[in-house]
Amino acid sequence: MTEQTKFSVLCSLYTWIQRSKSSAKKRSKFRKFLDSFCRDKNYFAAIRLILPNLDRERGSYGLKESVLATYLIDALGMSRDSEDALRLVNWRKGGAKTGANAGNFAQVAAEVLQRRQGMQSGDLTIKELNDLLDQLASSENRAEKALILSTLIKKTNAQEMKWIIMIILKDLKLGISEKSIFNEFHPDAEDMFNVTCDLKLVCEKLKDRNQRHKRQDIEVGKAVRPQLAKRVANASEAWKKLHGKDVVVECKFDGDRIQIHKNGTEIHFFSRNFIDHSEYRHAMSDIIIQNILVDRCILDGEMLVWDTLLNRFAEFGSNQEIAKAARDGLDSDRQLCYVAFDILYVGDTSVIHQSLKERHELLRKVVRPLKGRLEILVPNGGLNTHRSPGEPCWSFVAHNVDEVERFFKETIENRDEGIVLKDLSSKWEPSDRSGKWLKLKPEYVHPGSDLDVLIIGGYYGSGRHGGEVAQFLVALAERPSPNTHPTKFISFCRVGTGLPDDELDAVVTKLKPYFRKYEYPKKRPPSFYQVTNHSKERPDVWVESPEKSIILSITSDIRTIESEVFAAPYSLRFPRIDRVKYDKAWYECLDVQSFIELVHSSNGT
């Protein structure tokens, strides 16, 4: 019986899969497990523990590594400043003993547990584990969660507990794709999951591998995995890829991808990972009920915030806050606005097999737009809101590559996220990224000049960069008086990507002798650095003085964001290291004032 199978059996399967080199071997281990231990065909009980990130039955545990660390400390009854407790809290950094495991929380935890748990398995069954995980997800209270964890610890050994931690973190790192697991389970499993996002249903309906299942269509009330866009480098590549097709070019809105499912007065707001965002209900349900002119329907689009004072969409990041303000009846100049760019279901029929051109027609018929609240994105019109003064177009049918290029340039000037090109004859296909939709983003464009910034701190990495500095806190200088060097450096942004590993290593090696640990709140950073108290800023190490440091040239999406995390008034969105400027002295760092001038000139203000 699956449920009575010991969890230790599943742990052996994890280890085998992880150690096997070829995908075929990994799959055959999984098959053997199903055939030997799931004879009663209760596959869900086991598969939800193999694909924990797809299991929606259990809601969220609300436990990321840092929180899990404190709960484990409580559960193990450790003192907060014991060596092992610090090891858990500082899991990214590692130390003399955890060096090899730094960056892998489950592994660090296994080491700490090893010293407290016996080697012997506690005989936990799959059923017991699922029950305890249910309790862990449903309990909201800290003491209760710690108690459940300590029960789990009592019933397992360190290796088993390590896997449970990975289940809780929803990433088993088995080195096998979800596609392979699905295909080995049943040839129709992936398809069915894509249109239902329901692992339990897949496990229950597809018990017989030899019996094929009629292709299931989408249903109102069940999240569908979204159609995705393939990235291209420039307008001509996009145009070439869609050669000979009718192409619509759309603005790429920067919000939350949300599927709205309407069934009478029942409304769901499913995100990309199939979570129903009920917090949108208060602000949006009535509008949806009144302005979608059919009883049942699924819309695909982006949830954004519309600023009624500025008459434009607000920058990404305030959806939750505005949803809560609406729920609490607070007055605001900002409101949620849904932009529907596709329609997947109308009345009692799925329409994903119709062409995009036909679906645009349906959108026009089915949705009555409401300015700044509910908009439709269809070529040449639709949206009531203007893109920018004198530039009302958010979407158009393109006739040549120059039109695409021009639209993309406007996007950059407008500081939008990018553009999406779509084949108007294409179907909407769940989880497809084959190129029916192409995206073009203005990331990493220089804001007219190099941004030469100074490294003032470092953050330890995780995974392959565990235990070493892998990201930097960089700063702008305070403008010095003429003919003097700057004396103050103002924290600006955190940057890690962009450099090849060997170049990153070289910078870290050069700076290593000058890194000083920063143990908040005991030690303040050196006084020539102006920083905030924000926990998101706090680096793990500081460079002991600016003269010892190195200048990096960074680039970014041209959009800046107003910053509370860093001391400078603006920070960068998606910053990236372009080059290490060994030829520049520390005092040649860009100053804040020049940077602000740059921002204003690129904003046109």
**Is 154 designated active site?**
no
The C-alpha R_g of the chain, in whole angstroms, comes to 27
Q: By C-beta, is 78 or 228 nearer to ligand ATP?
A: 228
Does the protein bind ligand ATP through residue 9 (CB under 6 A)?
A: no
CB closer to ligand ATP, 268 vs 436:
436
The distance of closest approach from Cβ of residue 437 to ligand ATP in the complex, given in angstroms and rounded to an integer, is: 6
Instruction: Give whichever of 12 and 434 is closer to ligand ATP, judged by the CB atom.
Output: 434
What does residue 117 show for φ and ψ, rounded to 5 degrees? Answer: -105, 150
Phi/psi of residue 40, nearest 5 degrees: -80, 0
Q: Which of residues 72-91 bind ligand ATP (CB under 6 A)?
A: none
Please say which residue, 341 or 586, places its beta carbon nearer to ligand ATP. Answer: 341
Q: Which is nearer to ligand ATP, 58 or 576 (CB)?
A: 576
Q: Is 302 in the site for ligand ATP (CB under 6 A)?
A: yes
Minimum CB separation from ligand ATP for residue 251, in Å?
6
* Of residues 252 and 548, the one with the C-beta less far from ligand ATP: 252
Q: Rounded to the nearest whole angstrom, what is the least distance from the CB of residue 522 to ligand ATP in the complex?
A: 39
Catalytic site residue from 25, 230, 252, 581: 252
Q: Are 257 and 462 in contact (CB under 8 A)?
A: no
Task: Identify which of residues 146 and 378 has a Cβ nearer to ligand ATP in the complex.
Answer: 378
**Closest approach of ligand ATP to the CB of residue 433, in Å:** 7
Question: Are the CB atoms for 390 and 420 separated by under 8 Å?
Answer: no
DSSP class of residue 547 equals G
Minimum CB distance to ligand ATP, residue 342 (Å): 7
Span interacting with ligand ATP, options 42-50, 63-71, 119-127, 247-255, rule CB under 6 A:
247-255
Tell me: does residue 420 bind ligand ATP (CB under 6 A).
yes
424 binds ligand ATP (CB under 6 A): no
Rounded distance, CA 393 to CA 303, Å? 19
| Tokens of residue 236, six digits | 């001509």
CB of 255 to ligand ATP, least distance (A): 7
State the nearest-atom distance from the C-beta of 258 to ligand ATP, in Å: 8
Beta-bridge partner residues of 517: 541
Give the nearest distance from C-beta 457 to ligand ATP in angstroms: 27
Q: Is 423 an interacting residue with respect to ligand ATP (CB under 6 A)?
A: no
The backbone region for 295, taken as left when phi is positive above 0, alpha when psi lies in -120 to 50, beta otherwise, is alpha
| Exposed/middle/buried for residue 83 (C-beta within 10 Å: 0-12, 13-18, 19+) | exposed
Among the residue ranges 5-13, 70-78, 170-178, 252-260, the one whose residues contact ligand ATP (CB under 6 A): 252-260
Nearer to ligand ATP, 257 or 579 (CB): 257
Among 85, 377, 455, 474, binds ligand ATP (CB under 6 A): 377
Query: In this chain, which of 257, 327, 579, 581 binds ligand ATP, going by CB under 6 A?
Result: 257
- Asked if 253 touches ligand ATP (CB under 6 A), the answer is yes
Q: Applying CB under 6 A, does 229 fall inside the site for ligand ATP?
A: yes
Q: How far is the CB of 302 from ligand ATP (least distance, A)?
A: 5
Phi, psi of 111 (to 5 degrees): -65, -45
- Using omega within 30 degrees of 0 as the cis cutoff, is the peptide bond preceding 521 cis? yes
- Spatial CA neighbour of 491 closest among 522, 459, 457, 524: 457
Q: Are 419 and 288 in contact (CB under 8 A)?
A: no
Among 250, 416, 478, 578, binds ligand ATP (CB under 6 A): 250
Q: Give one word for 264, left, alpha or beta, with left for phi > 0 and alpha for psi -120 to 50.
A: left
Token reading at 416: 């939008």
Total residues contacting ligand ATP by CB under 6 A comes to 12
State the SS3 of 3-62. CCCEHHHHHHHHHHHHHCCCHHHHHHHHHHHHHHHCCCCCHHHHHCCCCHHHCCCCCCCC
User: Which of the ranges 72-80, 145-153, 246-254, 511-519 carries the binding residues for ligand ATP, by CB under 6 A?
Assistant: 246-254
Contact 303, 256 (CB under 8 A): yes
Q: What letters, b where the CB count within 10 A reaches 16 and e where it falls short, cover 142-161?
A: eeebbbbbbbbbebbbbbbb
Using CB under 6 A as the binding rule, the residues of this chain from 123 to 152 that contact ligand ATP are: none
User: Which pair of tokens denotes residue 257?
Assistant: 């991808």
C-beta closer to ligand ATP: residue 250 or 423: 250
Ranges within 334-353 binding ligand ATP (CB under 6 A): 341
Cα(300)–Cα(298) distance, integer angstroms: 7
Going through 8-147 in order, the beta strands assigned E by DSSP cover: none
Per-position b or e across 108-134, b if 16+ CB within 10 A of its CB: bbbbbbeeebeeebbebbbbbbbebbe
Per CB under 6 A, the list member of 359, 439, 465, 559 interacting with ligand ATP is 439
CB of 439 to ligand ATP, least distance (A): 5
Q: How many CB atoms lie within 10 A of CB 481?
A: 8
Pick the binder of ligand ATP from 58, 252, 427, 446 (CB under 6 A): 252
Site stretch for ligand ATP (CB under 6 A), options 49-57, 189-197, 248-256, 402-410: 248-256
Which C-beta is closer to ligand ATP: that of 158 or that of 438?
A: 438
Burial level of 532, CB count in 10 A (0-12/13-18/19+)? middle
* Residue 209-228 contact track with ligand ATP, rule CB under 6 A, x = bound: -----------------x-x
Burial class (CB in 10 A: 0-12, 13-18, 19+), 141: exposed
**Measured distance CA(306)–CA(605) in Å, rounded:** 21
Integer angstrom CA distances of residue 556 from 317, 433, 506, 508: 18, 25, 22, 22
Instruction: Specify the stretch interacting with ligand ATP by CB under 6 A; choose among 52-60, 106-114, 249-257, 282-290.
Output: 249-257
Q: Kindly list the catalytic residues.
A: 252
Residues that bind ligand ATP in the complex, under the rule CB under 6 A = 226, 228-229, 250, 252-253, 257, 302, 341, 377, 420, 439
